[in-house]
Amino acid sequence: MKQTTVSKKNETGNPVFEPRYRIREKFSRAMSDMYKKEVPLYGDLLDIVRDINREYMEQHPGLEDELGNLDRVSEERHGAIRLGKPEELAMMARLFEVMGMYPVGYYDLSVANLPVHSTAFRPVDKEELAKNPFRVFTSLLRTDLLEDDIREQAQTSLAGRDIYTARVRELIAISESQGGLTPDQAAEFIAEALETFRWHRDARVSQKQYETFLQCNSLVADIASFKGPHINHLTPRVLNIEALHKRMQDMGIETIPEIQGPPAGWPVLLQQTSFRALVESTRFPDTEGGYSEGRHRARFGEIEQRHVALKPEGMSHYDRLTAIAQERKKELIKEGEKVYQTTYPAMLTSLFEEQFPARTLAELRQKNLGYFVYELTEKGRGNPDFIKSRNKSKRLATDGKGRTEILEEWIEKGLARALPVTYEDFLPVSAAGIFKSNLDEKSGLLTREKSSNQELFEQALGKKVADYHELYRAQEEHSIKELFQS
């Protein structure tokens, strides 16, 4: 094995490793540069997103405290990949760990008739998220949901592929045994890891086999026909998605009809828009050592706006209304595409107006529906009477109800302030909408009984996925503790 010797040491004699967030940041940038070359429209959109973000930050001067500066916001993005085999997922978890990214959340997409289940690899600590919050939505093919013959064909095609370079496997092992990578090793790791996410024009299967997969489900075709899990989109974060959606339509880009997620004006969770997959020319090998030219649709563009994370009670309101909206959407579609496109946004808005219990950040906080972090203001810190009286409140602070009242009183008096905790995760119904709008319509139905199978997923992953509510709750709790003690 080609081992690179560790040369640089700090005063204590330990090797100096590249911080994991730096590897993550550089990797995310390298991926973005690669995707710009593969999908030029992505690069154009990045410029527009930056323009809109600059304008928005100028109009909302306090935002920097919450989000970081324009450069930091413009660096933020998530990607998505789809894997075929359990061992691919286990190795992916190890690869992302080198960059300080861990699996958070379990998403069951079989409910939307898609034969995959997913997690998001992302940093988990507040400080790490603030440095660089790069996330990758990672799906694994559910062969247990496929009919026997298709399952066998998919497994046969996937059995022979290795999506990792030999050197990246070595570097992952080195990072695990050393506890990190030196800057030289990190640079090599980034270049080698990138190979896994690259688009390959040459398919692994014949055109006939590809068509058979496609008849079953276009996700199966996308996963089982190719050499690797090409990155299928990279999504920048925009601060005003309505403005962006309009700009895209003005440019003649064919977007999905409606923004996914909550309606405009509700500062909760995540809103996303996307434009259709590119048609890519592909070469399918034939039996004579040649190939036939074909086409495949896999990659697309997506932009998102992120808002406050919701507590379980807030989330259950959101899920309930989303389920109603999905039902009404089916009815509208029956009346025709045009009716649906023109009436869907207003229908969603009135549904939320009637039934979502909060509209503003203050209401979300007061009704205990969203996650927030709290801190003293300048005024609070500089007020000795307040600091003294605050100590008396400590006892009350352990009682949830008394605590909310104290915090609200301090906020009202300008002694403390609350910042929304950004939702760092994904929404299964939106994800299904994104998947579907970008796949070929030919998709057949899954006939097997659908069921979520987190256990199977975690077995493949080699560990448990983290629960995002626990992460958000810990962040809020920690800030309140600090507030009462600092």
Q: How far is the CB of 213 from ligand OOG (least distance, A)?
A: 16
* Those residues with Cβ within 8 angstroms of residue 149's Cβ, 6 or more apart along the chain or in another chain: none
To the nearest whole angstrom, how small is the minimum distance from the Cβ of residue 14 to Ni ion?
A: 39
Q: Report, in Å, the least distance between residue 299 CB and Ni ion.
A: 12
The one segment of 61-69, 348-356, 426-434, 472-480 that binds ligand OOG by CB under 6 A? 426-434
Q: How far is the CB of 310 from ligand OOG (least distance, A)?
A: 16
Contact yes or no for 105/119 (Cβ under 8 A): yes
Which of 434, 460, 471, 483 touches ligand OOG by CB under 6 A? 434
HSE, side-chain direction, 13 A CA sphere, residue 168 = 21
Structure tokens that stand for 251 in this block: 């440019």
φ, ψ for residue 61, nearest 5 deg: -60, -30
Stretch in the footprint of ligand OOG (CB under 6 A) among 50-58, 188-196, 424-432, 445-453: 424-432
* The binder of ligand OOG chosen from 110, 196, 225, 232 (CB under 6 A): 232
| Binders in 331-390 for ligand OOG, by CB under 6 A | none
Tell me: does residue 139 bind ligand OOG (CB under 6 A).
yes
The listed partner (Ni ion, ligand OOG, none) that binds 435, CB under 5 to 8 Å by sort, is ligand OOG
Q: How far apart are CA 177 and CA 284, in angstroms?
A: 41
Burial bucket for residue 470 (CB in 10 Å: 0-12, 13-18, 19+): exposed
Rule CB under 6 A: choose which of 426, 457, 472, 484 binds ligand OOG.
426
In the chain, the N- to C-terminal Cα span, in Å, equals 51
Cα separation, 209 vs 249, in Å, equals: 37
Q: Which of 89, 373, 407, 431 binds ligand OOG (CB under 6 A)?
A: 431
Closest to 23 (Cα-Cα) out of 96, 127, 118? 96
Question: Radius of gyration of the chain from Cα atoms?
Answer: 24
Q: Which one of Ni ion, ligand OOG, none interacts with residue 431, CB within 5 to 8 A by kind? A: ligand OOG
Measure the CA–CA gap between 116 and 107, rounded to whole angstroms. 9
Using CB under 6 A as the binding rule, the residues of this chain from 109 to 138 that contact ligand OOG are 137
Could you give the CA distance from residue 223 to residue 433 in angstroms, rounded to a whole number? Answer: 18
Residue 304 C-beta: closest distance to ligand OOG, Å:
7
Contacting residue, 430, 437, 443, 479, with ligand OOG by CB under 6 A: 430
Q: Using CB under 6 A as the criterion, which residues of the chain lie in contact with ligand OOG when the complex forms?
A: 80, 82, 137, 139, 232, 272, 302, 426, 430-431, 434-435
